[in-house]
Amino acid sequence: MTQSNPTRRSRGILARCLLAAGLAVSADPALADTTVRLLHVEANPNYAKLWRDLADEYQTAHPGITIDLQFLENEAFKAKLPTLLQSDDAPDLFYSWSGGVLKAQAEAGAVQDLTEKMQADGGAWANAYVPASVAGVTIDGKTLCVPLKMSVVGFFYNKALFAKAGVDGDAIKTWDDFTGAVAKLKAAGITPIAGGGGDKWPLHFYWSYLALRIGGEEAFTAAKAGENGGFAAAPFIEASTKLRELGAMEPFQPGYLGTRWQDTLALFGDGRAAMLLTFDDSAGRQSAAAADGKGIPREEIGTFRFPVVAGGTAKGTETFGGVNCWAVSRNAKPEAIDFVRWFTGPEAERRMAETGMLIPAAAGADEGLKDPIVKGFAADLTASPYHQLFLDQDLGPSVGRVVNDVTVEMVSGQMEPDAAMQEIQDAFELQ
């Protein structure tokens, strides 16, 4: 009688198991191939190409992973995204402005809370970014987004037009200096500022920055906590008064209430307005928008911080802008987490910085910045003791609309400061 060999039998069972597993894998390609879908707003073809190059490099290093980059125009993105997030066709990763919109998406269960992942291993992932960027995507103690870039708003000016009017851009430090420059430009027959009232939000920069210079971090912290009268408090009333006074000087081009944002870039780039309160990367934007496709040469563009206001309690180095990020949708594939961590890592973001497309959120990646204008704004962010997010995003969609609406009405002289601030406060309490 022949006895069985236990070792041989075990090997046979193992072989059959491995064969079965191999057949199962080969029978279902989906188990081997994964597509990570990313949705973004990006109109610059050079930037989109860099992202595609980076995605291709990741794919090469990770066989079986396909990165599908999808781009939509800004308004189309905002219109389509809510529907996508409620469906089974949501992208794994999507671009976000943080703030109130992101908070609402999280409350609706549309995005993942990344706090645990960010803080694992002693906070290794979170510590890979500039602290202010992580703070900007952390809402109610939860990290809801992966930082991509930081942005700051400041003044750009046309050096040639300033010289013609006898204005020294380097000497503009206070609000009085600024309004004095506006008066000189007008006297020289030059439109002082390109204003975008058609889109409304570009004008809210003025009111928000004035409030930041007058009340500082304390005023915004108290208002968002519902303390000291909220947005009807004295610093916001004073900011509104100064904005209304600026509007009375008629600093913008004729018809500014109907002018869209893109057109303000063209006005500045064509030399038809001397100043523009804008994003840090607008040197390239104005070139693309100008009639000749070139705009003002970089060496002919000056910049200055939003001026301080006499009597204000702020330090004057606080910044106003955004922290943009990648939100991870609720049903995102696990591979999406690995990709977005790499895609926002120091090496990838250094290469993005080299093109001038962003001020990176990744720590140390700002070494890649080459454009002196962008480097200057990046230095302002580094020195900033407090970075206030765009209010029309930070306060949520419903309050943001009111902020934008009343800003336009104040600067155009159609609403009194007290009434405007009460409208914002009422909207804030109702949300």
Q: Are residues 211 and 290 in the same domain?
A: yes
Please give the mean pLDDT across all residues of the chain: 91
44 domain-assigned: yes
Q: What is the mean pLDDT of residues 93-97?
A: 94
Read off the CATH number of the domain in which 372 is found.
3.40.190.10
Q: Are residues 178 and 248 in the same domain?
A: yes
**Quick check: 6 pLDDT over 50?**
no
277 domain-assigned: yes
> Rounded to whole angstroms, how far apart are CA atoms 272 and 253?
9
Q: What's the confidence (pLDDT) of residue 4?
A: 40
39 domain-assigned: yes
22 domain-assigned: no
Q: Which residue has the higher pLDDT, 289 or 29?
A: 289
Q: Are residues 46 and 156 in the same domain?
A: no
55 domain-assigned: yes
What residues make up the domain containing 367?
29-151+321-389
Q: Give 327's Cβ-side CA count (13 Å radius).
A: 32
Under the banding of pLDDT at 50, 70 and 90, the label for residue 44 is: confident
**Quick check: 7 pLDDT over 70?**
no
Q: Per mean pLDDT, which range of 74-88, 202-216, 268-282 is the poorest? A: 74-88
Q: Are residues 33 and 176 in the same domain?
A: no
Q: Are residues 330 and 224 in the same domain?
A: no
Alpha-carbon distance values, 278 to 34, 297, 305 (Å): 40, 17, 11
Q: What's the confidence (pLDDT) of residue 286?
A: 95
Nearest partner of 254 among 162, 182, 191, judged by Cα: 191
Q: For residue 370, give both structure tokens.
A: 């080459």
CB atoms closer than 10 angstroms to residue 81: 22
Entry pTM? 0.81
Q: What's the confidence (pLDDT) of residue 45?
A: 83
Q: Are residues 124 and 273 in the same domain?
A: no
**Quick check: 23 pLDDT over 70?**
no
* Secondary structure tally for the chain: helices H, strands E: 18, 11
Q: Are residues 94 and 220 in the same domain?
A: no
4 DSSP 8-state letter:
P
Q: Are residues 57 and 114 in the same domain?
A: yes
Strands 146-158 and 275-279, how do they pair? antiparallel
Strands 138-139 and 142-143, how do they pair? antiparallel
Q: Per mean pLDDT, which range of 87-101, 148-162, 262-276 is the poorest? A: 87-101
Question: pLDDT (tens digit, 9 = 90+) per residue, 116-162?
Answer: 999 999 999 999 998 889 989 999 899 999 999 999 999 999 999 99
Q: Give 396's Cβ-side CA count (13 Å radius).
A: 16
Q: Are residues 408 and 280 in the same domain?
A: yes
12 domain-assigned: no
360 domain-assigned: yes
Q: Are residues 267 and 286 in the same domain?
A: yes
> Rounded to whole angstroms, how far apart are CA atoms 113 and 1?
65
Q: Are residues 184 and 87 in the same domain?
A: no
108 DSSP 8-state letter:
T
21 domain-assigned: no
Q: How many domains does the chain have?
A: 2
Residue at 387: amino acid letter: H
Chain centre to alpha carbon of residue 325: 8
Q: Are residues 268 and 401 in the same domain?
A: yes
Q: What's the confidence (pLDDT) of residue 356?
A: 80
Q: What's the confidence (pLDDT) of residue 232?
A: 97
Q: What's the confidence (pLDDT) of residue 192?
A: 98
**Quick check: 325 pLDDT over 80?**
yes
